[in-house]
Amino acid sequence: QVQLQETGPGLVKPSQTLSLTCLVSGGSITTNNYYWTWIRQPPGKGLEWIGYIGYSGSTSYNPIHRSRTSISRDTSKNQFTLQLSSVTPEDTAVYYCVRAGSRATPAPGFGSWGQGTQVTVSS
């Protein structure tokens, strides 16, 4: 049974880079037909898809954030990371990592979700 856990700083200053790592256990990030996804939810708002890295290493990003976004993986550690540069207070959100069974945005109840981690962008 796969488990995911987000880890990283909870406070980031404006203009800096947000960096989060998803620790995966119980399943390999190279397993065929899975997409390792980052999603966030700003306070009082809905879920927003950020992007994924696929089982083969391919990546896809939300065009809204693409210029600032990088998702990578370390197969030896079975983990994948999110880097979001030049952050502003609008990037404040709960960030989730998710194992999704398709390229589509996973909804609650679909896929395997981490518990989420709060990231606040503030000076």
Structure tokens at 18: 């947000």
Could you read off the pLDDT of 15-62 as tens digits, one per residue? 999 999 999 999 999 999 999 999 999 999 999 999 999 999 999 999
Computed over every residue of the chain, the mean pLDDT equals 96
| pLDDT more than 90, % of the chain | 93
- φ/ψ of residue 90, rounded to 5: -70, -15
pLDDT at position 103 over 90: no
Single-letter amino acid code for the residue at 6:
E
Residue 79 half-sphere exposure, CB side, CA atoms within 13 Å? Answer: 12
Q: How many residues does the chain have?
A: 123
Strand partners, 96: 39
DSSP summary character for residue 16: S
| 30, HSE (Cβ side, Cα atoms, 13 Å) | 6
More confident residue, 121 or 102: 121
Cβ atoms of 112 and 9 closer than 8 Å: no
